[in-house]
A and B are shown apart, each in its own frame.
Chain A
Amino acid sequence: MTSLVDRYVFTALRRVPEKQRADIDRELRASIEDAVDARVDAGEPRDAAVEATLLELGDPDRLADRYADRASYLIGPELFPAWRRLMTMLLSMVLPLVVIVLVVLRSLDAPSAGSVIGGMVSSVITVGVHIAFWVTAVFAVLERTGVTAGGLRGGPWSLKNLPRYEPRGLTVTQLGAAIVWPVLMITALVLQQFTFGDEPVLAPANWSFWWPYLIVVMALDALYAVWVYRLGTWTHTVTVVNAALALAFAVPVIWLASTDRFFNPAFFDFGAGADEALRWAGFGVVLTFAVFLVWDIAEVAVRAERLRRGLPLKVPGTGV
């Protein structure tokens, strides 16, 4: 039968690197015996002395961690901020995008409210867990290979790393988004005609004029973003150009949707309730683009007007 001391020492040694085991085994046993002897000399019975000594040494797993001098954390304070930034970005921006794409693709096979909601829930969980797991796994490996935050950034932190909070003009990120978004929309518009299922989602008759027209307007939107970025400020000219572009895009879309010429009826031809679904989809498009139109025009106009009057602009996300 193994004694209490054996059980303690074995448990601690299990988690210590193998080449140190023999030496730590001898040393730890000698130290325990020394302590037990001291207690026995002071008048304690032997069994009680062993128990008290081992209790004082505490959890053998923690002792093993200290012997092995290893980090008892997955991601340390050095890399944690980078981990949190990346996780926030991926979960708040990439996750919704991926989920939307997956749900659209899946609902094209079997369009029903149940399958869309079920598909959304399962994609959020699956994709979210994958993102969280792989990011954390990579950071845990980086932590153990001695990569520092400076190493990730490509140099020690300096004043150049401070973001610019210019309320004027577009930031590089905003410019990027303003260019990527039309490109994505154009791609989606072309792909829905050929790729998803047998029938296109949007009315194919509009390829004679309206869809190419919208593609041109979206391309102009990207050019407009470049122009505003280089201008570096918001003027009334910008307000006018922005309003013209927004109207040029939203008005035809709203008109097409409200006259049932936006979606392809053949795509919605899945039996009972198809007409109803088509009407609701059309209504959704009208509402979305109407809100977008008003908000977009007003937002740019307010910015330009505040700048003209010399009023301070808000710096997004700082509360200032």
Chain B
Amino acid sequence: MVCDMTMDATLAGHLQELRRGTVVVASLTVLREPGYGYSLLEMLSAAGFEVEANTLYPLLRRLESQGLLASEWNTDEARPRKFYRTTEQGEAIAETLRTEWTRLDRAITDLDTPGSPR
């Protein structure tokens, strides 16, 4: 019998692994409308994505260096903010990732449905 604490840690590990890639898809999708770090963080948590600031901010810079996001400093307001926007390339990749997500969802639902063809 595995004790509950180990089980919780196991679950947490698997959940983290399952969610790892979703933040990328979500960010690329949301940032079709330009947004800055904190606004995106708020939007994602409101939409139900469990993402931490210390993961999201470095991720945005990485996606930018990969050419999937473009950035621009907006100094019109009192607080200068770095706005990110999804590039064409980023949109294309996001589209592929969303298709893959749908396919996986369907595949898992099929497996979970008894009597369905395998």
Residues of A within 8 A of B (CB): 20, 23-24, 26-28, 30-31, 33-35, 38, 56-58, 62-63, 66-67, 69
Contact = CB atoms under 8 A, between A and B. Distances in A.
Nearest to A20: B61
Contacts of B79: 30, 33-34
B54 interface: yes
A24 B57 CA distance: 9
Contact of A31 (B38, B55, B73): B38
Interface string B11-51: 00000000000000000000000001111011000000000
Given A26-B82, A28-B57, A31-B37, 13 more contacts: A24-B61, A30-B36, A30-B37, A30-B79, A31-B53, A35-B41, A56-B52, A57-B53, A58-B52, A58-B54, A63-B54, A67-B61, A69-B58
A69 B41 CA distance: 20
Given A34-B38, A35-B38, A27 B58 contact: no
Interface string B58-100: 1101100000000001000001111000000000000000000
User: Main SS of chain B's interface residues?
Assistant: helix
Interface residues of B, number: 20
16 contacts: A27-B81, A30-B37, A30-B79, A30-B80, A30-B82, A31-B53, A34-B37, A34-B39, A35-B38, A35-B53, A38-B42, A62-B54, A63-B54, A63-B58, A66-B55, A66-B59
Closest 10 CB pairs of A and B: A34-B38, A66-B58, A31-B37, A27-B82, A67-B58, A63-B54, A31-B38, A57-B54, A58-B54, A30-B81
A57 B61 CA distance: 16
B51 to A, nearest CB: 12
A186 to B, nearest CB: 58
Given A33-B79, A35-B38, A69-B62, A27 B57 contact: yes
Interface of B: 36-39, 41-42, 52-55, 57-59, 61-62, 73, 79-82
A51 to B, nearest CB: 15
Given A34-B38, A66-B58, A26 B80 contact: yes
A4 to B, nearest CB: 16
Contacts of B62: 69
A57 B52 CA distance: 8
Most buried by B among A34, A56, A58: A34
Contacts of B41: 31, 35
Contacts of B39: 34
Most buried by B among A30, A56, A62: A30
Contacts of B82: 23, 26-27, 30
A69 B66 CA distance: 12
Contacts of B38: 30-31, 34-35, 38
